[in-house]
Structure formats: C-alpha cells, structure tokens
Structure 1
Amino acid sequence: MSKQVAIIGGGVIGMASAYALVRAGHQVTLVERQTQPGLETSFANGGQLSYRYVSPLPDAGVPLKAIAWMLQGASAPLQFRPRLSSEQWQWCLSFLAACRRSVNRRNGGHLLRLALYSQAVLQQWREQDGLEGFAWKRNGKLVVYRSSSTFAAAAGKIASGDEQRALSVDECLALEPALGDVADKLAGGIFSVSDETADCYLFCQVLEQRLQASGHYRRLHDQVTGTHREGSRIKALSLASGSALAADEIILAAGNGSQAIATPLGIKLGLYPLKGYSLSLPAANGAGCPRISVTDFDRKMVYARLGGQLRVAAMVDIGARDAGIDPRRMRVLRAHCQDTFPRAGHYPDAREWAGQRPSTATGTPLLGATPYDNFWLNVGHGSLGFTLACASGQILAELIGGAASPIDLTGLRAG
C-alpha cells in the first residue's frame, strides 16, 4: 500500500531514503533547509565508498593516542577542543567507554554488515535503473603504511579467503605509480579490489533529478521547527514557513539538526558533530595523480579520484563550533598532500571545504523505529554517510512498507 512519507533532511541519507521509498511505490515529501540537496556534510566528503574499511573511531589505545595528538597542534589527525558543554562531555564519556577492542570489533561487525548490503543496493540501482553521472568507479582501495610494525599488524589480520591482500612497496608502486615520490617512506600496503569511489554531491543531484522525474516526489525548501503529536503518532510537522506538513510516516535524517527535533519528543540520539576537512584538486594528467583510491593510514588521510578532480580528506576536530574552515588545519592538509603526491595537480586551484559529521559515540548509526508508531530514525552515520546511505535508505523503505529488515539490525537501533 502506497503511503505519504515525509523525510526531514536532504543530505545523502535523506536522498537515498527518498529514492528507495519512491522505488517501492510511496509518495515522498522531503524538507530541506538549503536550496539544493547535498549542500552541507554531503557536499565535499572523502569520496571513498569503503565498504570493507569501516572500523569505528573508538578503539583500544585511542585515548592515549589522542593525548599525544593534542601535543601536535594543527598537524594532529584528531584535535579535541574542550567546551563548557554537558553535551560534549557526555558524548566524550560514552566515546571513552567504547574504546575497548572487544567493543570496536563488535561495532565494526555491525558496520561491515550494513556496508556490504549498501554496496549491493547501489549496484542494484545502477544496474536496474541505469543510475549514473556521479563519477562512480570500482577502482579498489589501497591502504598504505609508513610504519613496518603497523603494516605487519594489519597484514596479520587478513583472514583466509578475504579479498584483501598485503602488498610489498614494489607491488604498491606497480598498482599505483603515483606513490613513487614517497616510496622510500612506505612499509607496504593492503589492497581491496572491490571498493569504490564516487562524488557524494553529484549522487544527491542525480537522485534529485530521478525523483523529480518520477512524479512521486516533491522537495520543500523549508525547515522543521516542531511536531504535532497525537497519542503515539506524529500527526504533522511544523515548518518555519508557518505551514504544517502531514504524513503517514516520517523519517528523521537531518544530520546534526536531528537532535533539535528528537529531543522534545523524548528521544535521545547522542549525536555530536565531528568536523572534517577536504581539498578538491583539479587532477593532472599522467602518472603523478593516483588512479585508485588511496588511504595514508599513518596520516589518516584519504585520496579519491573523482572524474577530473582528486578529493583529499582528513582530520577530526571534536568540539569545533561550526563548519568554518580552520586555515591552520588546511595548511597541514595541503602540505601533506603535496608531500605525498607533488605532481597530482595545480595546488593553488584546490578548493577547500569543512563539514560537521553527525556521529554517535560508538560510531554506529541509529536506524529504524522509535516509541512513536510512524516516526523513524536514519541518523548518526559519521564519516561513513555515503558508504552506508543506500543500505540505510533501503532498510527504512522495507520497514515502512511493513516488511522485515533485509539485514540484522542488532547494534544499529536506537536505545
């Protein structure tokens, strides 16, 4: 039975949810405060669809590393900026509680299950619907290590039958010649052949075009300011324009803005924005710009070739007040990129960006039902929003249609 579904938020999570719902025969109204979808956290993220590298940030040893990183200043992969905020400290305490190896492995398993399903859903959309035009490519992912001990530890975790394989430095160079400028600084790498890259913003735009053409979708340039409750249901959404939007079902996918909507309903999300940075560099022709997806493990930097540009992303700031660009952090990012790939492109033309990733303390998103019969969550994907978006949207479409989730949601539900 077709339903009227309202989606709050037009980032990649909200757009993927809308697309899955329209494919399933529902009518969708999406509320987005920006003039177009994908203009906030989805705009210039890392571009890697890292389906097999989804380990959560909290892990054993991270607190001690964080102390050392704090002494590095602007060059640190992670910066903590303490605030007089109970929200920040509650999140940090929950994060510290999750910094155990057993918890990391358990949550990593939940994320891997969701990520592999997301890859299958995107493949279905590409093959069945001819979805294209967002710089998608299955070019594999190479994680390079500068430390011999770190590389040996990572290589030792590769299970028998796993598609990942450990490579010597010479094998890394044969796979990606652009690494030749730092060959003497590398210890080896691990390659996963089936990981992908794509442009998240373009993906949102392609979905928007398909949805508008379907006749079963409309987008409101507006903002949700509250809800109208009636018993165990949300009857309608209050909008900043002064109108109300009624719907059979409602999905909350507003990223960092989700808490302002959920808290008055008594729903605790426990989200906190983790700021990240990126450069978008016009890619040079020739062997100086990487062709495959590369992650510099020790510097916590990712490189993705997206059509005619190289997207470089890195860093986590805990406690940044907004998504403004910190010039000190960008100088470090630019310097590291130029050191690793000096011939990748014309660096003066690189576009800088920063975004606030909506993150849970455990690193796992919140999907599915709430105490309200028709109010659903699709929030908290952190730095894996693009990787997990298709699965998250498809799962919500299945649940709203009355079916069971296509995968086990253990570890991915609210509460």
Structure 2
Amino acid sequence: MKIIVLGAGVVGITTAWYLSRSGHEVTVIDRQSGPALETSFANGGQISVSHAEPWANPHTPLKALRWLGKEDAPLLFRLRADPRLLAWTLRFLRECSPSRTRENIRRIVELALYSRQCLKALRNDLAARGGLQYDQLERGILHVYTDPLEFEKAVGASAILREFGCDRRPVSANACIEIEPALASASHMLVGGDYTVDDESGDAHKFTRQLAEHCRRVGVVFDLGQSISRIDAEGGRVRSVVTSDGRRHVADAYVVALGSHSPALLRPLGISLPVYPAKGYSATITLSKASVAPTVSLTDDAYKLVFSRLGNRLRVAGTAEFSGFNHDLNAIRCDALIRRTRELFPDLNECGKPEFWCGLRPVTPSSVPFIGRLRYPNLWINTGHGTLGWTMACGSAAALGDLIAKRTPQIDFPFL
C-alpha cells in the first residue's frame, strides 16, 4: 500500500520505518524543515519503562492544588477559560482512582517493555547498515528520593511495576551513591532510591534524525516544510491530505502522528481526541573535563526532573505546564532546573551557558497513548505518548504496522 505518515517526530519516523520494512510505500509530511525539531528535539533522553506511573494517580490532585500559582512547580495548571483543558482535566481526575491507576500502569508497562525490545532489535538490524549512534548508554535508570514519605510510596509503586514485568528495585541511599558516584556530594539529601538496570538513555533527536536517514535509504519519501491544512474524507474513506501549498496528497492509508496537534486536524472529521499539550522544559549543559556529573540516567522524584548524560553534555529535563500551545520559555522554570541541578551536583563545571528549550508533550488523561484505527477504515492514529514518546515509539510503530497489515500485535494493549 501507499501510506502517508503525518508527523516527523520520533513517533512518526519510527512509524515510517516499520511500515516501510513491511513493504509499504511511505511518505512522511511535516511542517518543519527536518525530523525531530519539535517535541523530540531536546527531551529528557530516557528509555524509561520504570517511569510508567501515570501523572493521573491518587496522589496527584492534592499535589496539584498545593502547586497552584507556583511558577516553579513540577506540575503547573494555568487557570483560564479553556473548555478543552477543562474537559481534559475532568477525564484526568477520573483516571486518578487506585483501580484506574493500576490498570493504566499495566498498559504502559506492557507497551514500554515491548518497545524497549523493539529498540534493541532495531539497533541490531541496523548494525550492518551503519548503525545508530545517539550517545546511548545502557546503564539503567536510578530514581532518587529526598522525602521519606515519597520513598515509602515509591516502594509500593515499584512492587506494582515488578508485578507487571518491570524490574524496578528499591535501593538504599548508600546504594544510590554506589550506582552513581556523582551523587556523593548530595548524600545528606538522599533517603533512598530505586534502580531499573535494563532501562537506557540517549539523545532522541540524534536517534530520530539517523533513523530518518535509514528510512530515506530504503525508499521513504520526505515532504517537509509543509503544514497540513486538512484531511478530506468522502464516501466513508479518507481521500486525501491537503498541505499549505495547496497540493493534494493521495494514498491508500493515512497515519496521524502529529502529537499535540493531532486533535485539531481530526476535529473537522467529527473525531474528538482527548490529547492536550503539556509543556516540558529542558536545559542542556556542556561539561568541562573536570565536571563531576552523572553517567547513569537519573530521575529526581521531588522535582519531577530527569538527568541524562549525552557525551560531554548533561540534559536536565522535566516538569509539566498546562498552558495551551504556548512555546514561551518561563525564566523561573528554567532557573529551577539549574538550581536543582546544582543542589544535587555542586561540583558540576560548565562550559558556557545552559541551552534552554521547551516542547509540547501530547498527554492523554490516562497517559496511555492512542494507537489504532479511527472512524474511517484507512485512517490511523499513533499519538498521546506524553512523557514517554521515545520510550514507547518503536513498540507503538511496530504494533501499528501489525494492525495495518491485519496481523495480531504481540502485546496486550487497548488498541482502538
């Protein structure tokens, strides 16, 4: 079949790769001039099955209320007249029950574990074709805690993750320092952690661009620098996609992988998709040779930040700001990233100033993405991965390829 993939982020590019390897003729359309220039550009850099607990859980509503009005809060809702945010929030609150949280963790872990397997297989498959080099490190992910109550809650969360197949193990504060010696200067702050040895880290932007090059070599066509104006449907099928230059693009099937922008494109077709943009921030710090910086990827639970070593750079990323399609950098939130980094790593020596960035993560109320077929038999969706876009990308793309080929995917997941 001829298939058009709308979106050139990590989810769109992995989708294009798996569809192409299944024998389809694939075209990728995106408004940006190259792959991975929006949400996939400077994210936290983790392949983190261990980060499967959704934002919607029994502890979040009270925390969100305490954080209201705090510009540096890990989770910031900006109160305003936005009916889509209100509708999304009501659905989010329904997902905060213990039973819904447990089921959503199961779904996320199932997909994330499968996706991590797919990523490893992809690396092996491409090793003879030039491979993929994206500052990847297979040293696991260490969650660290500075609050005894939060650590106690995490022990319970780790038990649920292990039940579903993710080997996230609680460790002592001393063990945290043994795993990552760069934490030694913050030993007085640590109360414990948990460690997932099979998780990974790396540069999602490099990964996506290199995979896009492999896509080109196997025949995937890229039509970049063109916004998608609309999807035209007639007679019970999607007939074409129209881009901003007025061209009409025709295919046998269409995949929407536009992240937070997917709902607006689908709305004229009568399709309502509860995906809302959550703005995440990152700082990329270039390190001197004398820096004492982590090489194991870390998650700081108190501040909802992750730290990933990317060669001679340290990527610090996280938080979520619900402020619509706003790409403005908030100086207070940027400063909070650096302040916390220096608290944990006081011996960090930087070369130059940090590079700040923000991107809009496509978040569903449950944190479970939408993968499958929409209203029309030739219209497919792959979006809503939230903070785990790169973690779930390969598995989502492989499963979608199976669905389009009318094969049964290898995972138990609520496909549409």
TM-score range, shorter chain: over 0.9
Query: Which secondary structure does the structure 1 equivalent of 2:264 belong to?
Result: helix
Q: Shift of the alpha carbon at 1:62?
A: 1.1
The equivalent position to 1:50 in structure 2, one of 48, 51, 54, is: 48
- Tell me the SS of whatever aligns to 2:3: strand
Aligned to 2:359: 355
Match of 2:74 among 54, 72, 77: 77
Q: Partner residue of 2:91?
A: 94
Equivalent pair of 1:228/1:235 in contact (CA under 8 Å)? yes
Output one character per residue of 1:152-184: Cα deviation in whole Å (capped at 9) or x when no partner.
332345447863322222211111111112100
Q: Which amino acid aligns with 2:138?
A: R
The answer for the alignment partner of 2:296 in structure 1 is 292
What is the CA–CA distance in structure 2 between the aligned matches of 1:399 and 1:269, rounded to whole Å?
A: 20
Aligned equivalents of 1:385, 1:38: Cα separation in 2: 12
Distance 2:74 2:123 in 1: 35
Contact 1:76 1:315 in 2 (8 A): yes
Q: How many residue pairs end up in the alignment? A: 409
Give, in angstroms, the shift of residue 316 of structure 1.
0.9
Counterpart among 177, 184, 194 of residue 180 in structure 1: 184
8 A Cα contact 1:52 1:116, kept in partner: no
Structure-2 separation of matches of 1:69 and 1:216: 46
Query: What letter is aligned with 2:273?
Result: L
Q: Deviations over 1:278-319 (max 9, x none)?
A: 001113435710010111111211101112211101211112
Q: TM-score, normalised by structure 1?
A: 0.95
- Gap change, CA 1:285 and 1:166, over 3 Å in 2: farther
Q: 1: distance between equivalents of 2:121 and 2:243?
A: 35
**Offset at 1:244?**
0.5
Q: Distance in 2 between matches of 1:347 and 1:92?
A: 41
Give the 3 Å change call, closer, same or farther, for CA 157–409 of structure 1 in structure 2. closer
Alignment RMSD: 1.6
> What CA deviation, in whole Å up to 9, does each residue of 1:201-239 have, x standing for no partner?
111110111111112433343121112222121111111
Instruction: Tell me the CA shift for residue 368 of structure 1.
Output: 0.4
Question: Is 1:115 aligned with 2:119?
Answer: no
Describe how 1:368-407 pairs up with structure 2 within 5 A: 368-407=372-411
Alignment map for 1:247-286 (pairs within 5 Å)? 247-285=251-289
CA contact (8 A) 1:74 1:332 kept: no
Secondary structure at 2:223's aligned position in 1?
Answer: strand
Choose from 23, 26, 39 the match for 1:25: 23
Distance in structure 2 (CA, Å) of the matches to 1:374 and 1:327? 44
Provide the residue aligned with 1:4 in structure 2.
Answer: 2
The 5-angstrom pairing of residues 143-154 of structure 1 reads: 143-154=143-154
Q: Give the aligned partner of residue 340 of structure 1.
A: 344
Return closer, same or farther for 1:284/1:166 CA change in 2, 3 Å cut-off. Answer: farther
CA distance in 2 between partners of 1:386 and 1:180 (Å) = 30
Work out which of the residue numbers 316, 329, 332 in structure 2 matches 1:328: 332
Percentage of identical aligned residues: 34
* Whole-Å separation in 2 of the counterparts to 1:279 and 1:384: 18
Return the offset for 1:265.
0.9
- 1:317-358 Cα distance to aligned partner (Å, 9 max, x none): 112541111111111111111111122331642110011111
Q: Residue 133 of structure 2: SS of its match in structure 1?
A: coil
Alpha-carbon shift at residue 52 of structure 1 (Å): 2.6
Structure 1: state its 5+ residue gaps. none
Q: Using the alignment, how far apart are the partners of 1:320 and 1:284 within structure 2?
A: 37
Question: Are the counterparts in 1 of residues 284 and 354 from structure 2 also a CA contact under 8 Å?
Answer: yes
The question of whether the paired residues in 1 share the 8 Å contact of 2:33 and 2:224 is answered with no
Give the aligned partner of residue 39 of structure 1.
37
Matches of 2:62 and 2:367 in 1, distance apart?
A: 19
- The code of the aligned residue for 2:6 comes to I
Q: Tell me by how many angstroms 1:93 deviates.
A: 1.0
- In structure 1, the residue corresponding to 2:413 is in which secondary structure? coil
Q: Does the residue aligned with 2:49 lie in a helix, a strand or coil?
A: coil
